[in-house]
Chain A
């Protein structure tokens, strides 16, 4: 759309009009670049340069105090020999692969419930969303207190049903399940996204399903889920990426200042290990190599998810 056509062509001589348009376009480009200049500057200083520098650092030994010492691909070779890295990778995969499906199913269930709440849905939406406002540090502390093996609320609740709860925060087998359960506390924003998607499903589809005599389960699986598959897919992608980068809750609860670990390495997630290598042990080069490995892993997982989703995700108005 030509906005500068106020000087309609024809009122001026032909080359004069062309010249005016050229000047107008140049002026527009200059104005646009002025408006986006903050981002260009920030991108160059805080994104582009860090990417290049991080790639360089990953080929060096660097402890911040002495100059970087070029070592070639040694850091990357070390990645494959480091047993702690293998632990961190395993923990992170385990956490993400279990947490994401559980998280999606729970938020879908809550969104379906909320969709039926009628006028009270505002109240319940608020209640579900509140935990999202709790700072992750406080969530980590709540995890320690509520999931405490001796006297925590969770185990007290389980004991009413005659179940002897595990030591969630100290038993290596139960640390990750505890973290996963605690993470469900903040499904609120996913519930809101799914609820918005549910409200967009055309009512006619439900009406005709009713006419055809479809029950609740069938309607949900054949109409609701396919119709909101776009939102579901979004939540899967975002949570997978976030899962690989889990840090605050686990770090708060299981790691402390002064290079101390309060548990064994059951909660040593990838970014926690990266953070400790970089800022506690000052192995900036090794940590940079770790960052690039994480980048590659996230890219691979996202690409696989996008490829798989092509078969299942339905977007309204999409040509098939």
Chain B
């Protein structure tokens, strides 16, 4: 129907017009008030701990527990002290190194493997892909000890390598995610490229990878977050405090200043802020991709 005929209909039959709706903001119901009250209350619950932590990091020793949102005495000393008490810059550098290496390698290798499963047809394909899915179900505890022994026999314990190098081989969850994306691409595109003389590698790197950029970004972001926030593997593999990542370092500071009898909670709180802030920035940079990724893949808890 064109605009013209619709206009005609409207002018010739005015009696069929619907009465104008009352402006939306006037329709305040009890239900709406309850919904908004619930939303605002929930937002407070979710945001408050951040604000509390941030504010505590600016309070002098002893005031940490006063639960005021605005510090009574504002001080920047905690940040200077943390920097002096702990090799914070080194820890941050270690973490950035590990997370970037882990995220980039897992994205490239998972994409390669996913492409292998999505594009080619070969006899063992369904069986092998079944194995990929099955490995997602295996609890990490089963492979944790032998993996440690492998890295130990390679003399790699207390280096950063074990924290990222396994990602060179791809990861089942991302292989699954990227394969779904590749399967959604039109096959004619690749056939056309093949007729134009493109080989498998060119098709993969020049056509498939660029088209699946959103999924690659999701993979990068998810893995970056997973590795940055991980404590278990650094606990297993890192010994010397110069090799710590920030979460491992934060745990060490808690052991020393929280429970070690020194009760310098302001150090622990400030280090927590330093550990958390890069993740918050990452989230705001990639918010859309995070939300999309979680909504479509149902990323694990």
Which A residues form the contact surface with B (CB < 8 A)?
Answer: 1, 3, 6, 25, 28-29, 31-36, 38-43, 45-47, 49-51, 53-54, 57, 64, 110, 113-114, 116-117, 120, 124-131, 133-138, 141-142, 144-146, 148, 150-153, 156, 185, 188-190, 192-193, 195-196, 216, 231, 234-235, 238-239, 241-242, 244-245, 247-248, 251-252, 256-258, 260, 262, 271, 274-275, 278-279, 284, 287-288, 290-292, 294-295, 298, 302
**Interchain CB contact (< 8 A) of B42 among A57, A110, A287:** A110
Residues B187 and A3 in contact, CB atoms below 8 Å apart:
yes
Complex CA–CA separation, A196 to B293 (angstroms): 11
Chain A residues whose CB sits within 8 angstroms of the CB of B45 once the complex forms: 185
Which 4 pairs from chain A and chain B are nearest by CB?
A: A42-B169, A35-B116, A32-B120, A50-B146
Provide the main secondary structure of the chain B interface.
helix
Instruction: Choose among B128, B169, B200 the residue with the greatest number of A CB atoms under 10 Å from its CB.
Output: B169
- Are A252 and B259 in contact, with the CB atoms below 8 A? no
Least Cβ distance of A66 to chain B in Å?
13
Determine the residue in chain B with the shortest Cβ distance to A137.
Answer: B247
Count of interface residues, chain B, beta-carbon cutoff 8 Å: 97
Contact indicator B120/A142 (Cβ below 8 Å): no
Which listed residue (A49, A141, A287) contacts B269, Cβ 8 A?
A141
Q: Among residues 258 to 301 in chain B, which have CB atoms less than 8 Å away from a CB atom of chain A?
A: 258-259, 265, 268-269, 272, 275-276, 279-280, 282-283, 287, 290-291, 294-296, 298-301
Q: Footprint of A on B, CB under 8 Å?
A: 31-32, 35, 38-39, 42-43, 45-50, 52-53, 56, 64-67, 109, 112-113, 115-117, 119-123, 125, 128, 131-132, 135, 137-150, 152, 166, 168-170, 175, 187, 191, 195, 200, 204, 225, 228-229, 231-232, 235-236, 246-247, 250-252, 254-255, 258-259, 265, 268-269, 272, 275-276, 279-280, 282-283, 287, 290-291, 294-296, 298-301
Q: A138 to B116, Cβ gap below 8 A?
A: no
The reply to whether A33 and B254 form a contact with Cβ atoms under 8 Å apart is: no
Report whether A278 and B144 are in contact in the complex, using a CB–CB cutoff of 8 Å: yes
Hey, which chain A residues are within 8 Å of B32, CB to CB? 116
- Find the B residue at minimum CB distance from A252: B251
In angstroms, Cα B140 to Cα A242, docked, is: 11
Known A-B contacts A42-B168, A133-B282; the reply to A190 vs B259 at CB < 8 A is no
Do B113 and A39 touch across chains, with their CB atoms under 8 A apart? yes
* Contact in complex: B283, A41 (CB < 8 Å): no
Can you list 24 A-B pairs with a CB-CB distance of less than 8 A? A3-B187, A38-B113, A39-B109, A41-B169, A43-B135, A50-B147, A51-B142, A54-B143, A113-B35, A116-B32, A124-B39, A133-B280, A138-B247, A142-B49, A148-B65, A185-B49, A193-B294, A238-B301, A242-B300, A245-B139, A252-B251, A252-B254, A275-B232, A279-B235
Q: How far is the CB of B150 from chain A (nearest CB, A)?
A: 7
In the complex formed, the residue of B with least CB distance to A41 is: B169
* Beta-carbon contact of A151 and B67 below 8 Å: yes
Would B120 and A29 count as touching, CB distance under 8 A?
yes
Contact of B43 with A193 in the complex, beta carbons under 8 Å: no
User: Could you say which residues of chain A place their CB within 8 Å of the CB of B290?
Assistant: 129
Q: Is the beta-carbon distance between B38 and A134 smaller than 8 angstroms? A: no
B233 to A: closest C-beta gap in Å: 11
Pair A288/B145 contact, Cβ less than 8 Å: yes
Does the CB pair A36–B145 fall under 8 Å?
no
CB-defined contacts of B65 to chain A, threshold 8 Å: 145, 148, 150-152
| B259 x A256 contact (CB < 8 A) | yes
